[in-house]
A and B are shown apart, each in its own frame.
Chain A
């Protein structure tokens, strides 16, 4: 970290200031606090307004805590299906995380610790799927789900997501960085591949597994377009699409914005909590992803 500054800074910005490190750090802190405040402001306002009733919301400049307290949250959860949507989103995201991590660990194990023909081609075959995000294959995928009879099922919103080029790539990179001597020892002991994965590789990959899980959870939780299309039974819908239904909520002709803000806060909490708790492995994992 650079904490020291040059004695004769040359920019216009610098010349306006008195000399000295502390003044500059005051500006840095000030700039950061302002940026962070602006980035968080919409969320703070949403939190406050999620406690307001419709009358209070319509007093535009009213930013006091409203008279509804937490009752908008209760209404969203109990009367507008958010309880169900939240559960559906959690189930979907957990299945995708567990599925993707498991499948990708298997694939990376094969790619790094086995010798087989066309290894390079196999790896490329997996990586090339980066060219096929959902919108590129959305019509045939919808068709396929209809033919499989998977419409309105968990399979439809999890199946297409449980294999991933990114996760295989990250685990492969990580396995390749594990010292060969450790691997040799395990092999000399005659350990089979699955025990080797379970007893040697996974304990050595905890940070990476946590990082991939966070990335995947946040990604899965954010899904909107695909569930919107493939899930038509409202009780099976995920919470992001639930926000769309909530827009129609009104009371004597007025949109219930307090209720919508409560729904938005609910739909943000799980991934935000995961990010805050697991930000360290996430940051480490993303640093590898770019390469």
Chain B
């Protein structure tokens, strides 16, 4: 959970080093394609962080996040391309509309585990069909063309590097926001619901209300990611937002490690970049990709984040003070399993 196993000095050093690397990357490694694809990975990292809030910190399984990505992307594209609204306003509108759309899911937050997952998957399929068939609004299967570059006030962020830095800024803002949210009254309520719903209710937490809020917050963030996606690609097609995209976002969280913000980002990079780097393998690409997914899942629900934490601990010769490792009672592990894996 958010109580980290590391001394925070190490963590902050690591975060700052990673941030500096990402800031200088497009300048030392200015191939357009690389900058483009890393920007895309950062956009998906934002979406993965949003799902991490639901899955890793509230225990809600959503396989419908592509719906909010699509709503955000199309909203931003339509209002900028058709109505010439400035990007900043389009970006905010995209998040808002995605958030409002998520209110449609409030009645189904009562569902649990796989049942909730399937219901959100249904939502994702419906949104895809709307994007595909409402041609007057979305351009249907021809897609939306000529989406302008993002702009900030008088500056138009033309070119891959400017766009890259915008995506990086939004990613950092999202990470910081969630990092603040988790140890707050709101964040504690979500984690209480995930870890023991009855105890949460008996402590005065309105479960439906907080679950709905988690869905809305996640949808708003995903809508922002959708807006970035639209202006990054300059072209939208409904097939960018099929249920397969929802599953990809879920893969990012699962591979990176459920319950870890950094893990969601790592997972988004792996799932976005790995298939690109596996291109040399040609037709074996997806086979290798699938095999690697299976291997990653062997790491357990703590994923790559859990693995790298364990390696770093060993390198730094720190003794684990993790709950699992030092628990005097063997039953602790079973109790700690999140809700969606139990039902």
- A interacts with B: no
List the interface of chain A (C-beta within 8 A of B): none
List the interface of chain B (C-beta within 8 A of A): none
